[in-house]
Structure 1
Amino acid sequence: MEYAVQGTLDELGTPLDQITFVVFDLETTGVSAAEHAITEIGAVKVRGGEILGEFATLVDPGSPIPPFISVLTGITDSMVVAAPKIEAVLPSFLEFTRGTTLVAHNAGFDVGFVKAACAAHGHPPPDHPVVDTVVLARRLLTRDEAPNCKLATLARLFSGTEPRHRALADARATVDVLHALLERAGSFGVHTLEELRGFTRAPTPEQRRKRHLADAVPAAPGVYVFEDHRGDPLYVGKSVDLRTRVRSYFTASETRPRIREMVGLAERVRPIVCATPLEAEVRELRLIGAAKPRYNRRSRFPERAVWLKLTVEPFPRLSVVREVRDDGAAYLGPFGGSRAAEDARVALHETFPLRQCAERITARARRPACALFGIGRCGAPCEGRQSAEEYGELAEAARRAMELDASAVFAAMETRMTRLSLDQRYEEAAADRDRLAAYVRVAARMQRLRALTALPQLVAAAPAADGAWEVHVVRHGRLVSAGVMARGVHPTPFVEALVATAETVVPGPGPLPAALAEETECVLRWLEGPGVRLVQVEGTWSLPVHGAGRLRARIDHAYRGIDSHRPREGRPER
């Protein structure tokens, strides 16, 4: 005989209307808890929809607040000069939160700063339960309701308080967002804190129902394609173990709202087994570019790449184009967008006084010169003041700067930035820095790619498991064959067979004659990996001695400090 047993209150969980939440927000001098400091704390204590108290204070960070942080938050050095330091504020804040559940929007950021402050001043780290309204919103809201889960977006839906990057105001807005999300969670049967925390981690019913889609997927490297009922690709991915990766989409570890939505639409998973992980990576890029699955965000539109072109005409000019033609012109790219291409063009114009007009000019044509001639930025070939030979020397120097030697542009822009800085024209100097960076980064990338794409054929091998070797054949930067040579197999016939069965490549024009930049970069990363051996190389594989690659490190070093202090819009989110 079986007897019904009534569960204990602990087993039932704590009802949400009996939970005391402390919803808090921090303002800081940057995004790294290890390197930056808190400038403001705001917190609201609520239970059962009723506000029990508030906590708010400015905090002296002990160092100057970066100007862009002051612009973002409105908190200046003069405002915090008389504020208490964090070691004086922290005990009061910890007492305010004692015995409560912490809530924050993007909680990892705020809790991380609190833990860092506790560690620095001898307090035990907080062990409160934590609810993240970002994670909860991703679980409960559709893209039609909220295009993203930033606090400002959710506040427009659920709150009358507008977030303005001040701690208490943002905490109050988060309270309204929390209550709205808890109300919606109730319709999913979430009524206790334990159910709430489990709800954000649990797989959706659709994920559980679709687990069988992974049953026929092999445990091998390759590409997987989620398809809908019509066979159209929804999402393309790659993995060194297809079965393990595909199974993860049907578990609680997959929390991305877009991907959970995709799983609900999927009717089958098509595996494509590949010989090597590199082949899988390349095939993934090609499939995404060809099929453009709507749930993939990366590399869906490689054809939208932008190039900077030095035209072929009596008086060449720099033009931003979207197509590389077999016309003998010099090309620099690909750029991610027109803005970066325009920045690089300005950097070249600052160095070489090429004409900037779009009209076609011939040796016999005559028209009045524009204002650029008056300020020394153009030699006025349109007015006959500069011969085709004189102008041709400038154009050849610009071509060399695009393809081989970046030193002239770097020196000219560096001199200009120094002059602007001495005149305290810092914003103009920063703009020139960004233009120089756009030029150097893309020139370094193109020269690195071109070194490989110039080779008619390259065969390389890398050690694999159990003494085997991964062997790849690359033609003009395109992966054309891949195979795994088992231990003890004679390499010569294996390589000859792999080369004989490889894809034939007819190179096109430009720096990328046979493959997209992303594919050639994948091949380069593999070639630079540990243990790779070159088997055959047709042609010369080299970089220009005065190329942009030697300047790239200086550019990246200059930006490293800037990027680490730059706040992400609307708070950093995953």
Structure 2
Amino acid sequence: MPSTEAPQLSFDELGTPLREVTFVVLDLETTGGSAAGDAITEIGAVRIRGGERIGELATLVDPGTGIPPNVVALTGITTALVTGAPRLPEVLPTLLEFLSGSVLVAHNAPFDVGFLRAACERHGRVWPRPPVLCTARLARAVLPRSEAPSVRLGALARLLGTTTLPTHRALEDARATVEVLHHLLERIGNLGVQSLEELLTLARDASAHRPTQKQRQKRRLAEPVPSAPGVYLFRGPRDEVLYVGTSGDLRRRVRSYFTAGERRRRVREMVGLAERVDSVVCAHALEAGVRELRLLAAHKPRYNRRSRHPDRGWWVAPTAEAFPRLSVVTSPRAGALGPFGSRSSARAAAETLLEVVPLRRCTQRIPARNPSAAPCVLHELGRCKAPCAGYQPVDDYAPAVAALQALVAGQDDGALRALADEITALADRERFEAAARRRDQLARLIVALERSQRLAALAALPELVGARPDGHGGWELAVLRWGRLAAAGVARRGTPPMPVVEALRRGAQTVLPGPGPLYGAPAEEVRLLHRWLTTGGTRLVYSEPNWSEPARGAASWGGWARRARPAPVVDASGAGLG
């Protein structure tokens, strides 16, 4: 009968050492029908932990139909034998209780799990979604084909010399599977597999690469790493940083690099070069994410593929001259729009801006007094007032510059409304292709403006304090200054949070605002902070001044842009935002 065990495992807890894991090894016999009906005729299950058998469950099940002769010949289970046995709805509650808090093990597990899941759905029971281990897949991952050409249960039982042989009866087959599992677990020690997470990863992909000799030898590098949230750094023979990452459990994550579960070629190469693993313990995931970004920017490790240049991006900004024009630059300036992930996307945004604000398109520098160039063809087409030829004075050009500044700052969305009206007019004249092009241009511009205004509004705050529930009755706390994380801490359950908040504010890093719309803060860090503040139930504890976004900003056009569904817009980190 089932015994009282630990609560149901979750996937966040799959770093459990194998000796602490409870397995329930299961086998089903059926009528040969599909999972759509009550085809189960017998259930056998064995509960084990630490190599010890701690419980068994076995029962015949009346499927309510006759059992075909070929199935009777295979299993010996006849219609007369199951007549009077409990029906499946009566058996399910006991079986689900027996499975509670365990990892479900079966040979060809998709077959057994499919029948049980379908039965739960059919009879109004909630399938508990336990972690599932298939011994057939595990055998294929552990045993070379030269040793085990077949991974059928009978073949493995003979190969491994189990004392119980499968007989197509549920409990006997479950007992045989227990012995097969124990033999396979003995084999995986030399693969560096010591935790449930590693075991499930190995079995999930039977073609997983085995850890190299270097990987196994360097497992010692994980020994001094603490089991805490934070950032880890792999260092090479010259003490150079090879790779930076974050984890909620540093020790468990670092250990995974030395097992069969790690199949990335570049990472395996990196592990071969590593001589040391440093760790930075953090208060919570937000601090770890920010520190990771800063370390990536500082060291630019060659084995990291993303975020090595969090300060890199492209901006659209007006030039500092008498008749400003738009330019695409890499250094943010006051009034700039961005950041963009590529020069081409920034240029596309600049072209759309020129459609909605009447700035000049030429690139020449025009003096404030006595300009004498010949007007270009745009003047003849009525699309430029030719300040280059002296036909437009500075005062007459200034409203266009002011319109650009108001649009980027979110103070006036009139330019967006004008372009939307033009799209409607084109559609009314049945110029659908032209309307579609304008629609996509406007949608991309709205996305870029919304992102820029959202980040700029947060980066403009001298100080903000946020608190997010940690899921255990406590709080994760963060102090932000000018778009940067200045302090991080936690108030555990039972600890009054406000004294902790005040202590964090007093000890927070001093941040001096820099140039540009983000006041010198890296766009990726501001974006990470904004996401943390606006998700997960985070509460605003303090803000000076009040955190707000422009009322006439592009956010009010977000629904329009999403309905338009333009091609994805790429931000400075390469992540799609469209």
Distance in 1 separating the partners of 2:521 and 2:532: 16
Cα distance change of structure 1 residues 429 and 204 upon mapping to structure 2, 3 Å threshold: farther
1:349 lines up with 2:337 in the alignment: no
CA deviations over 1:408-438 (Å, ceiling 9, x no partner): 3433444455566677776655554443333
1:333 lines up with 2:324 in the alignment: no
Question: What corresponds to 1:315 in structure 2?
Answer: 323
**Residue from 212, 224, 238 that aligns with 2:232:** 224
- For the 8 Å contact 1:306–1:334, the answer to whether it is kept is yes
Shift of 1:558: 2.7
User: What amino acid sits opposite 1:468 in the alignment?
Assistant: G
Question: What corresponds to 1:400 in structure 2?
Answer: 406
Distance in 2 separating the partners of 1:520 and 1:308: 19
Cα distance change of structure 1 residues 289 and 426 upon mapping to structure 2, 3 Å threshold: farther
Report which of the two structures shows the higher radius of gyration computed on alpha carbons.
2
**Residue from 527, 532, 539 that aligns with 1:526:** 532
Query: 1:445-524, aligned counterparts within 5 Å?
Result: 445-524=451-530
Shift of 1:229: 1.0
Distance in 2 separating the partners of 1:527 and 1:478: 13
**Residue from 513, 537, 547 that aligns with 1:541:** 547
Shift of 1:488: 3.3
Distance in 2 separating the partners of 1:405 and 1:492: 36
Answer with 238-247 or 309-318: which moved more.
309-318
Shift of 1:255: 1.7
Distance in 1 separating the partners of 2:324 and 2:447: 24
Classify the secondary structure of the residue corresponding to 1:283: helix
Gaps of 5+ in 1: 1-128, 131-194, 564-574
Distance in 2 separating the partners of 1:205 and 1:347: 56
User: What amino acid sits opposite 1:507 in the alignment?
Assistant: P
Question: What corresponds to 2:271 in structure 1?
Answer: 263
Question: What corresponds to 1:143 in structure 2?
Answer: none
Classify the secondary structure of the residue corresponding to 2:336: strand
Cα distance change of structure 1 residues 241 and 347 upon mapping to structure 2, 3 Å threshold: same
Distance in 1 separating the partners of 2:340 and 2:398: 26
Query: 1:184-223, aligned counterparts within 5 Å?
Result: 198-223=206-231
CA deviations over 1:417-470 (Å, ceiling 9, x no partner): 556667777665555444333322221111111111111111121222542221
Shift of 1:514: 3.9
Classify the secondary structure of the residue corresponding to 1:472: strand
Question: What corresponds to 1:250 in structure 2?
Answer: 258
Classify the secondary structure of the residue corresponding to 1:296: coil
CA deviations over 1:85-130 (Å, ceiling 9, x no partner): xxxxxxxxxxxxxxxxxxxxxxxxxxxxxxxxxxxxxxxxxxxx99
User: What amino acid sits opposite 2:348 in the alignment?
Assistant: D
Question: What corresponds to 2:560 in structure 1?
Answer: 554
**Residue from 304, 308, 323 that aligns with 2:312:** 304
- For the 8 Å contact 2:314–2:342, the answer to whether it is kept is yes
Shift of 1:240: 1.0
Task: Give TM-score scaled by structure 2 length.
Answer: 0.59
- For the 8 Å contact 1:477–1:515, the answer to whether it is kept is yes
Distance in 1 separating the partners of 2:417 and 2:356: 9
User: What amino acid sits opposite 1:445 in the alignment?
Assistant: R
- For the 8 Å contact 1:306–1:322, the answer to whether it is kept is yes
Query: 1:10-89, aligned counterparts within 5 Å?
Result: none
- For the 8 Å contact 2:491–2:500, the answer to whether it is kept is yes
Classify the secondary structure of the residue corresponding to 1:500: helix
CA deviations over 1:286-342 (Å, ceiling 9, x no partner): 1111111111111112333111111232211111111124xxx42111111111111
Shift of 1:233: 0.9
Distance in 1 separating the partners of 2:215 and 2:512: 45
Distance in 2 separating the partners of 1:200 and 1:532: 40
Moved segments of 4+, more than 4 Å? 415-431
- For the 8 Å contact 1:406–1:548, the answer to whether it is kept is no
1:365 lines up with 2:371 in the alignment: yes
User: What amino acid sits opposite 1:357 in the alignment?
Assistant: C
Cα distance change of structure 1 residues 416 and 198 upon mapping to structure 2, 3 Å threshold: same
Classify the secondary structure of the residue corresponding to 1:483: strand
Question: What corresponds to 1:378 in structure 2?
Answer: 384
Shift of 1:536: 1.6
Distance in 2 separating the partners of 1:505 and 1:546: 29
Cα distance change of structure 1 residues 434 and 250 upon mapping to structure 2, 3 Å threshold: farther
Classify the secondary structure of the residue corresponding to 2:371: coil
Gaps of 5+ in 2: 1-135, 138-202, 569-578
- For the 8 Å contact 2:229–2:284, the answer to whether it is kept is yes
Distance in 2 separating the partners of 1:304 and 1:410: 28
Cα distance change of structure 1 residues 201 and 417 upon mapping to structure 2, 3 Å threshold: farther
Classify the secondary structure of the residue corresponding to 1:467: coil
Distance in 2 separating the partners of 1:542 and 1:506: 21
Distance in 1 separating the partners of 2:262 and 2:558: 37
User: Percent of counterpart pairs with the same letter?
Assistant: 49
Residue-pair matches, total: 367
- For the 8 Å contact 2:313–2:340, the answer to whether it is kept is yes
Aligned Cα RMSD in Å?
2.6
Question: What corresponds to 2:295 in structure 1?
Answer: 287
Shift of 1:557: 3.4
Distance in 1 separating the partners of 2:216 and 2:492: 39
Classify the secondary structure of the residue corresponding to 1:210: helix
Distance in 2 separating the partners of 1:411 and 1:206: 62
Classify the secondary structure of the residue corresponding to 2:208: helix
Cα distance change of structure 1 residues 553 and 257 upon mapping to structure 2, 3 Å threshold: farther
Shift of 1:371: 1.2
Distance in 2 separating the partners of 1:252 and 1:551: 49
- For the 8 Å contact 2:375–2:388, the answer to whether it is kept is yes
- For the 8 Å contact 1:305–1:335, the answer to whether it is kept is yes
Shift of 1:210: 2.2
Distance in 2 separating the partners of 1:308 and 1:477: 20
- For the 8 Å contact 2:209–2:263, the answer to whether it is kept is yes
- For the 8 Å contact 2:475–2:497, the answer to whether it is kept is no
- For the 8 Å contact 1:308–1:333, the answer to whether it is kept is yes
User: What amino acid sits opposite 1:391 in the alignment?
Assistant: Y
Classify the secondary structure of the residue corresponding to 2:466: strand
User: What amino acid sits opposite 1:459 in the alignment?
Assistant: V
Cα distance change of structure 1 residues 385 and 502 upon mapping to structure 2, 3 Å threshold: same
Cα distance change of structure 1 residues 424 and 466 upon mapping to structure 2, 3 Å threshold: closer
- For the 8 Å contact 1:505–1:514, the answer to whether it is kept is no
User: What amino acid sits opposite 1:500 in the alignment?
Assistant: R
